[in-house]
Structures are given as C-alpha cells and as structure tokens.
Amino acid sequence: MRDDVIMISPGAYNFAEYLYQILECDYTYIREPVDRETVILFGMFMSNGNPMRPAFRAKKRIAVWIGTDVMHLESYLKGHQGEQKEFNKHLDVKLATSTGLAAELESLGVKMDGVVETPPRYVFEPMPLPEKFSVGIYAPVKRETHYYTDLCFEVARAMPDVNFYVYGRNREIGQIDKNIFDLGHINLKREIPNISAIMRFTIHDGTGLGPVEYMQAGRRAVTNLGLPHAYNCDPDLDQIVANLREIQKEKEPDKEASDYWRERINHERYKKEMYRWL
C-alpha cells in the first residue's frame, strides 16, 4: 500500500474508483486539498472549478487528462487565455491516456510528459460468441450528439433481424423499438457474453475503452477511433451496416484482437507505467 500517494478525481469517478486499487494507493472524490507526498489528479475537468486545488499541499502533483476534459479545457481557454501556463507551472507530471490527447494538449500549450493508457475495470479473456448475433451501443443520456446516438439507432432500424442493446444510462428503460433494447447501467461482466459486437462512434475520445473491452473479450468493434483490429469507418450509415454484416458472418471470437489488446492494456502494465512517474 502506497500511503504516501492518493488519487483524486476532479471528474471521472467511475474510472478512479477502481484505478486506485490497481495502484494500491488511497483515493477520495472530495475536491479539497490533502496532505500527501504525491497526488494523482485523474480527470482534469474545468467545470468543477480549479482541478489542481486538491493537490496544493502535495510535494508532487501528477495530472491525467482522459478525454472529454481536453474538450473542456479547449473551451475554457477561449475565455481564459494563458491559463495553461498555470498547469505547466504547478504540475510536476502531466499525462494523457492516449497519444492523440497528448498531441491536443500540446497544441493548447500544455507541456506533456507522457502517455499512460487506462485499463478497463475488467480485462476479459476471449469468450464464446452468443448463438444469436447482437450488437451493443454505448449511448449515455444527455450525450446523444457526442456519441452519435441517433445514427446508431438508424443503423439498428436498418438491420431489423439483429437485436441492439443500448447501455450507459442511469436506469433501465426497456424496449425502445422492435429490435432496440435499453439495458440501463449494466455490469459488463454479466452482459458481455450475450453481445457479439460493439458499435462505438464519438466526436472525441481517448483510446476508447468500450471497444477495447469488447475486443479483449474476442468481440468485434465498429468505430471511428482508428483502433488496431477494429472495423474502423466514418460515422456513415451504409459503412457501419456493411461492417456489421461482415462481422455477423463470424462464428468464432477474434483471438488475435483479444491477444493484442490484453497485452497492450492491462492492470499490471498500468501499475508499472504509473509507478514510473510517482
């Protein structure tokens, strides 16, 4: 246990609540200054006030940008030019969860130190595909534009022979359309064996843990994130349907994709890489 280290999440509590356990350090979601040698700020969301505030008393301050917080910073800097200098001045280590995010932050004037990819809560082994082909859709409430929810529903309606399962919401809604079912906020460990593939399109993201989780489990992913072993395409109805029809022909899990992603992103590697910066 690293009693000298604490993780604080100015945002992204759903990640921090298991990442601190991997790092074997302490954790709090309270955004108040703490007395620790090292503070890891995970999720630098500007909408919650100064995200550096909890680390003011620390000797070492590590910040991790994860995705949407980079969009928040870009928007914030339009009205607060020069504020990025405060990050460069007061943060000892500045990390991003993907090379793309690091490049964005550099373009905004934040001098980055490195990239550490965040692992999912569960690193799945490849598992058998369900008998009936089905597709998962990550579509949080109030973020429909960000995740192309309307387009995903169009895809579902264009494939009436396939069941689509929506998740990422705070409550279970039930049947939305003939072949679209809202599962609410799901436990992937329980549900992923029943889903064959994931459709994940987004305006902005880091590595994109949703597709990674599915590919680790041997499922196929259709996305616009440019991920290795995924079916990458534009957020276009015809392209997405064509890719899903190709995936529908597959009867065995994608072991090559699973091996690649389980090697690249896992708990042990995350701990080792984060400890380099502590």
Judge whether 169 and 139 are in contact, CB under 8 Å: yes
Instruction: Scan for tokens 């996305």, then name that residue.
Output: 223
Q: How many domains does the chain have?
A: 2
Least confident of 55-64, 71-80, 94-103: 71-80
Whether 274 is in a domain gets the answer no
Containing structural domain, residue 95: 2-116
| Together in a domain, 100 and 212 | no
Which of 116, 144, 178 is the last residue in one of the domains?
116
pLDDT of residue 204: 84
| 120: confidence class by pLDDT, cuts 50, 70, 90 | very high
The verdict on 76 and 145 lying in the same domain is no
pLDDT at 79 over 70: yes
pLDDT digits (tens, 9 = 90+) for 243-259: 999 999 999 999 999 99
Indicate whether 20 and 50 sit together in one domain. yes
* For residue 38, pLDDT beyond 90: yes
Q: What is the distance between the alpha carbons of residues 32 and 94, in angstroms, rounded to a whole number? A: 20
Residue 110: how many other CB atoms lie within 10 Å: 23
Q: Which of 116, 150, 182 is the last residue of a domain?
A: 116
- HEC letters along 237-267: HHHHHHHHHHHHCCCCCCHHHHHHHHHHCCH
- Report the CATH number at residue 86: 3.40.50.2000
Nearest in space to 167 (alpha carbons), one of 137, 205, 189, 135: 137
Same domain membership, residue 211 and residue 140: yes
Q: Considering the domain boundaries, does residue 248 fall inside one?
A: yes
pTM recorded for the entire structure: 0.92
- Mark whether 146 and 258 lie in a shared domain: yes
Identify the residue whose tokens are 């042990």: 268
Are 141 and 112 in the same domain? no
Please, which pLDDT band fits residue 172 given cuts at 50, 70 and 90?
low
Over the Cα atoms of the chain, what is R_g?
20
